[in-house]
Amino acid sequence: MELMVLLNALVTRLLFVLHSLIGVWRVTAVKKEPKYWLLALLNLLLCLETGLTLKFKQGRGYKWFSPAIFLYLICIVPSLWLLEIHHGTQYCGNEPGAVQVNVSNQDFNQSRESSHGSEGTDHHIIQTAKVFVNQLSTICETVWTLALHQTFLLLLVVGRWLLPIGVEITRDQLSQLLLMFVGTAADILEFASETLDIEDVRKNYALINAILAVWTWSMLQFPLDLAVQHIGCKPSASARRIPSLLLCRYSAELWNIGVSLFIQDGPFFIVRSILMGHFRIFNQMLVFFTAKNILVVTLQLYRLAVITLDFRASVLQKSRKGEVCCCPCEPYEARAHAIGHQENEMKEFVVFPPKEESQAPSEDH
């Protein structure tokens, strides 16, 4: 096993575990009940996945799916749910938070002076750590929750970058996937923060749960790598069945369209439409992002129509020429086999011209 592959696999999963533990710590501090530390047991699943990956895959990833990202979602999402639900009854202003931080800075300077003048370096480090933890604890709860959301989405992108890639995915495909994840993470963060910060939404627990459910549903696209990979298909299926050939040829494009319509922009548009239509909640940003979701959904449907028409035209053109409709993602041997099979069938219908009759022998003299 390569050293860098092992190091990247371990460091990335360690970052996932640490961030998950920070989320559990915040839930325990906000709820003031030690039983919420049991959420930390979810990290055992990530530890088990790490051992299995190192043993069977030598630290590298899988095709089309990342178990580490999926288990990280399982570890951190319950903590964010609890913080957002509790956040519905906890508000803090701008000025009190700043005053608390200033007081903590004063305590930090006093402890540093006392420890420097009286005791050793070890005591100074311990006092500094205690003051730093107390300072973090005094930060406003809304700031903590938003910071966990932001670092969670950033860590998803960075962690997918650091995780060792499998044999099936290339560096070019990984770069495309990361660029897509950056835009997706920004849209998801905007949806959660913009809708949950509305005062009328905070008063309705059913709305909070519905928004968090849609937010969780949108996070399920991160463990999947289908957006940059083509799905292979058998020659028999691709040559005779039109849907199989369409899925084979445009698998990545169809996956992107499906994600936008059913996982991200479509559900976001439904939630925002319900907020404006049923609950009569209007503001400038809500209207703008609703219009943006409508535009994205319309463009994705237009893209689907273009792909379908282009595919239909190519199939009709090849059928008129008598060619085999082979998928470009198939291996060369499969395409050669299909073409050779058609050539053998064509040979059966070849009519050879009759041989010319030999001239009659000349008369005997």
Task: Give the DSSP letter string of 101-127.
Answer: HHHHHHHHHHHHHHHHHHS-HHHHHHH
pLDDT above 70 (res 90): no
| Cβ neighbourhood burial of 43 (10 Å; 0-12, 13-18, 19+) | buried
Mean pLDDT, the chain, integer: 78
pLDDT above 50 (res 118): no
pLDDT above 60 (res 81): yes
Predicted confidence band at 100 (pLDDT cuts at 50, 70, 90)? very low
**Mean pLDDT value of segment 274-279:** 92
**Mean pLDDT value of segment 268-290:** 93
pLDDT at 58: 82
Distance CA 286, CA 199 (A): 13
pTM: 0.77
pLDDT above 70 (res 227): no
Percent of all residues in the chain with a pLDDT value above 90, rounded to a whole number = 41
pLDDT at 109: 53
Hey, CA dihedral for 256, 261, 263, 266, is it positive or negative? positive
pLDDT at 95: 40
Lowest mean pLDDT among 43-52, 184-193, 232-241: 232-241
CB 338 within 8 A of CB 235: yes
- Give the helix ranges, DSSP H, for the chain: 3-31, 43-56, 67-87, 94-118, 121-137, 141-162, 171-196, 199-202, 205-219, 235-240, 242-249, 251-262, 265-277, 284-321, 332-347
pLDDT in tens, 305-356: 999 999 888 888 877 766 555 554 544 444 444 445 444 544 444 444 554 4
Distance CA 300, CA 187 (A): 16
pLDDT above 90 (res 18): yes
pLDDT in tens, 310-322: 988 888 887 776 6
**Mean pLDDT value of segment 222-244:** 65
pLDDT in tens, 144-199: 899 999 999 999 999 999 988 776 678 888 888 899 999 999 999 999 988 998 88
Q: 255 versus 129: which is more confidently predicted?
A: 255
pLDDT above 60 (res 250): yes
Q: 241 versus 264: which is more confidently predicted?
A: 264
**Mean pLDDT value of segment 44-55:** 91
Lowest mean pLDDT among 197-211, 239-253, 338-352: 338-352
pLDDT in tens, 152-163: 999 999 999 998
Give which of 52, 45, 50 is closest to 74, Cα–Cα: 45
pLDDT at 352: 45
Distance CA 99, CA 103 (A): 6
**Mean pLDDT value of segment 193-218:** 92
pLDDT at 131: 72
